[in-house]
Structure 1
Amino acid sequence: MKRSEIKRRPLSDTALASIEPETREFRELDGNGVYFRVKPDGQKSWQLRYKNQAGKWSWLGLGGYPQVGGALARKKASDLRKEIAQGEDPLANKKARQAAELAAATNTFEALAREWIEIRTPGWQTSTATRNVGALELHVFPVFGKRPYTEITPKQWMDFLQSLERKGILEQMSRVRRSCKEIYDLARVTGRAIHNPLEGLNRFLQSKPAENYAHVTSKDLPELLRAIRAYPHAPDLRLGLRLLSLTGVRPTELREAPWAEIDFDNALWSIPAERMKKRRDHLVPLSRQAVEALRELHALSGRYPLLFPGRSDHKKARSNMAFNMALRRMGYEGRQTGHGFRHIASTTLREHNFPREHVEAQLAHVEGGVAGVYNKAIYLEQRKQMMQWYADHLDKLERGNVVTVDFQTKG
């Protein structure tokens, strides 16, 4: 139907459905200031024309057709005319509602947390980002994500964190508390909050006791080294555990390492700052045994960018539980972790009178006297000799011709 063929007002349902678009947008009067708008692409909608409080004509949308039919559009218009008669401006009210809805959407705890995540992610290792974001998404967002962050009280945060305590997930609880406190700090320093509701809550929550990562005693170390050598299930994990024992690096530093960091010719492993916990470049001297293990590993995964590529996605590293799962299969659950090899290296080297600063530099620890002058090659020549001695020492332990002292009880 052409608009010229319309014979009566208000517009009938037949007319509304059949009226044809034209080359230019047009409005067809339905009655009492209600208009039916038709665009050239065929889209149809309703509008109310009214005078605002300043005496100027304004247009206010009533909804699209056919979602809003004629009867509903006229009912909406009637309600709006009552608002106008009471001195209100429905267009201004609509804009205010939209602004309030937008503010509410951007004022939620999840929105603030996502902003914090975006700011903090560049400074995190991939594994750290995964743990922090995962803890928020699993525990916090389902409870507080959609709520305005300024309305969540300290008591509500306390109750929530204590509920995590009761589940026995103290490490997760502590991670969540630290993250959420930082999120509120962001709101506070940017002028969007005055108080931080998580301030001081840590004094009333359990803390996970400090622990040295599980590691075997010196008496049991030779047996562990032999078990690693004989591990039958996954050759790359066998070599990974051997490399952890030979280098003293953190499991994540090894697991996520690309082959580009390994210099076989100079027996050096150069780890860039962005992959290090302390955000400092770090050189790891490689003993003869470590180079041999790496060459054997290269035969397995050298065609991929990473030393330990994932099984389904070779561009991603193996699971962060891979080394510990291998130790578990060997029967060392609760007795030895991947990280525990660092403690063994540190204690063994100190027991054999290697200087503390050399040991701490090898482990990339921040130490007084070291941190202030740190560079990636600090004590490199001394560390080369130290780690070659250590690799030879581990081989002798594995063969069973070394008498050891129990370092489990040492400081």
Structure 2
Amino acid sequence: MARKGLTAKKLDNVAGKRQKSATRLWDGDGSGFGAKVSAAGRVTFFQFYYAPAGTVDEKGQDISGKRRFMTLGTYSDAYGLADARKGADAARALLDKGKDPQQHARTERERATREQKQAAQRGTVAGVLALLLWRFRRKGRTRRYIHDARRAWHRDVFPEIPREKKAADVTPQDIRRVLHRPLSRGSEHSARTLRATLHLAFKLAMQSDHDPRNLSSKVEFRTTANPVEAVPLAVEVNAKDRELSFPEIGRVWHEMGESTANPMDTLLIRLLLALGGQHITELREATWSEFDLDAGRWLIRAERHKNRTRDHLLPINKTADALLRELHTMRGRADYLFPQVRKPHLPMRVERPGAIIAALLEWQARLGKPMDKFTAADFRRTCKTRMHEIGIPKATTNHLHNHDFAGVSAKHYDRFDYWSEKQRAMTAWDIALRAAIDGKPVPEAECRAAMRWQDGTPTSGKKTD
């Protein structure tokens, strides 16, 4: 015999009255809706269900298929049976879409809390930092760059200027104390760089208040002057100039295989060189879906590239192809080329390439054959410089590295992919790289020949006007 549905009369009969033990009253229609009556007579509505696939709890553990009870509310004059039924209907509607109602509610609460926190930050020094980081993201700065900027603020700014302090109350004396921190550590370069980011951040705050697009905003920074202006610490950041010679490239190629027991580390560094010095982040976060080894192509989408203006199509030369196929036999089942060991659903950590190079330099020093210090970021400069050395035109290396070209024509109208030019350049680079690996002089004549069209016309004279 089917159970009778819940009624307000039935709930009134048990509400507020002590029971021998807690019990559940079901609606009787098989929907999972019901009410729990505690031993003290408190009536709480619930919705019973089985967790849909992909549901995780607060600890991040998968609970798909497990029994769950969602509390809807407590029976009272303000929350009655009709209100509870509406809540149960909404929960079942989410279940029909494959969503766990409790996980959905938790996500919404976290989102609301996050938005409230962000709103509270606006107008404060913490809001100024958020505005600065937003600008960096819009400009396509790398994650490492943004991470370093945020870390500098947490290390030197917030200990002197509380994050909740209003931006309008920041004085040049505050900035002076902030910049004294890196200077007291003997790091003048960090002090100059920090001053530059502080100056830009407060400039953005001032512009935000006067931006007509923010007219409806209820919170303003209300900064009438940039407090960094009065602090005399000129920014003179010198361009980096470390680039490896061809003999050094050959040495790094071979000694990478000896300095580490992890073949993934070796393949990462070798691929950075073989692929002509693409951005570390682009290779570190690359997925196998971007590669077509049969066609010899690597497609980097605009949203993953630094300049974020257009997709970047890169030819894969013979050396890079062999490395990629070797890597695929080791990590082909993962989405990323270089996944984390313990979290294979995530790409290699941002600091890992730097640690690999540091370990190589330390290993070389222990053997008594040190090299001049360099970083993983120097490979891009190295490849570009050595490419020019073997006769690859600057315009072609800019296309290989997807550098922006000045002018309205290049920015808005030129959509040619320069595939043939890039393909010949990667072939020439492969010839030079193989010679460096074998310890032989680079055959510049052969490299320059690879850059020519079949009819003998140099690459720099075709399709570029």
User: Partner letter of residue 397 of structure 1?
Assistant: A
Which of these residues, 427, 430, 437, is aligned with residue 391 of structure 1? 430
Verify the 8 A CA contact 1:255 1:307 in the aligned structure 2: yes
For 1:168 and 1:314, the matched residues in 2 are separated by: 40
Deviation string 1:2-61 (CA, Å, 9 cap, x unpaired) is xxxxxxxxxxxxxxxxxxxxxxxxxxxxxxxxxxxxxx98xxxxxxxxxxxxxxxxxxxx
Q: What's the TM-score, normalizing by structure 1?
A: 0.65
The AA in structure 2 aligned to 1:326 is I
Deviates most, 105-114 or 294-303: 105-114
Provide the residue aligned with 2:316 in structure 1: 286
Aligned to 1:109: 125
Q: CA RMSD in A?
A: 3.2
| Structure 2 partner of 1:308 | 338
Change (3 A) 1:117 1:335: closer
Note the C-alpha offset of 1:368: 4.6
Tell me whether 1:336 sits opposite 2:377 in the alignment.
no
What's the CA shift string for 1:204-248, capped at 9, x where partnerless? Answer: 245342212x33333433222222354542111111111111111
Give the C-alpha shift of residue 276 in structure 1.
1.8
Among 226, 232, 237, the residue aligned to 2:265: 237
Which structure 2 segments of 5+ residues have no match? 1-74, 77-118, 210-221, 365-370, 445-465
Q: Report matched runs for 1:211-226 at 5 Å.
A: 211-212=240-241, 214-226=242-254
Contact 2:171 2:227 survives alignment (8 Å): yes
State the distance in 1 between where 2:120 and 2:425 align. 60
Q: Which amino acid is the alignment partner of residue 335 of structure 1?
A: K
Specify the alignment match of 1:187 in structure 2.
205
Report the alpha carbon displacement of residue 357 of structure 1 after superposing the two structures with TM: 0.5
Q: State the alpha-carbon separation in 2 of the partners of residues 135 and 271 from structure 1.
A: 30
Structure 2 counterpart of 1:131, one-letter code? D
Structure 1 residue 106: Cα displacement: 5.4
Question: Could you say which structure has the greater relative contact order, defined with CA pairs below 8 angstroms and 6 or more residues apart?
Answer: 1
**Which residue does 2:175 correspond to in 1?**
157
- Structure 1 unpaired stretches of 5+: 1-39, 42-102, 406-411
**What does the per-residue CA deviation read over 1:384-411, in whole Å, with 9 as the maximum and x for residues that have no partner?**
1111221122112211232589xxxxxx
Corresponding residue SS for 1:239: helix
Query: Does the CA-based 8 Å contact 1:170-1:206 persist in structure 2?
Result: no
- Residue by residue, what CA displacement relative to the aligned partner does 1:128-149 show, whole Å, maximum 9, x if unpaired? 3322323222322232113222
For residue 312 of structure 1, give the secondary structure of its aligned residue in structure 2.
coil
Q: Check if 1:204 corresponds to 2:220.
A: no
Question: In the superposition, relative to structure 1, how do residues 388 and 291 fare at CA in structure 2: closer, same or farther (>3 Å)?
Answer: same
Q: Is the 8 A contact 1:283 1:377 kept in 2?
A: no
SS in 2 for 1:142: coil
Does the 8 A contact of 2:192 with 2:233 survive in 1? no
Instruction: Assess, with a 3 A threshold, how the Cα gap between structure 1 residues 128 and 401 changes in structure 2: closer, same or farther.
Output: closer
Match of 1:357 in 2: 395
Equivalent in 142, 145, 149 of residue 132 of structure 1: 149
Secondary structure class of the residue paired with 1:284: strand
Kindly tell me the number of residue pairs found equivalent between the two proteins: 304
- Residue equivalent to 2:184: 166
Distance in 1 (CA, whole Å) between partners of 2:184 and 2:372 is: 23
SS at match of 1:143: coil
Cα distance, 1:207–1:334 mapped onto 2, change above 3 Å: farther
The equivalent position to 2:281 in structure 1, one of 252, 256, 259, is: 252
Change (3 A) 1:289 1:375: farther
**2:314 match: secondary structure:** strand
**Alpha-carbon displacement from aligned partner over 1:365-394 (angstroms, at most 9, x marks no partner):** 234579547867632211111112211221
Check conservation: 1:125, 1:275, Cα contact below 8 A. no
| CA separation of 1:263 and 1:169: change in aligned 2, threshold 3 A | farther
What residue is the counterpart of 2:301 in the other structure?
272
The code of the aligned residue for 2:152 comes to: A
Q: 2:204 and 2:284 mapped to 1: Cα distance?
A: 33
Alpha carbons of 1:134 and 1:314: their partners in 2 closer, same or farther (altered >3 Å)? Answer: farther
Cα distance change on mapping 1:206 and 1:373 into 2, 3 Å: closer
Task: Say if 1:216 and 1:335, in contact at 8 Å, map to a contact too.
Answer: no
| Counterpart for residue 299 of structure 1 | 329
Q: Give the deviation of 1:105 after TM superposition.
A: 7.3
* Partner Cα separation in structure 2 for residue 207 and residue 129 of structure 1: 20
Q: In structure 2, the residue corresponding to 1:190 is in which secondary structure? A: helix
In 1, distance between residues paired with 2:314 and 2:123? 47
CA offsets per residue over residues 138-182 of structure 1, 9 Å max, x none? 322232113222121123213321322332445543453333333
* Preserved contact between residue 282 and residue 377 of structure 1 (Cα < 8 Å): no
**Cα distance change, pair 282–375 in 1 and its aligned pair in 2 (3 A):** farther
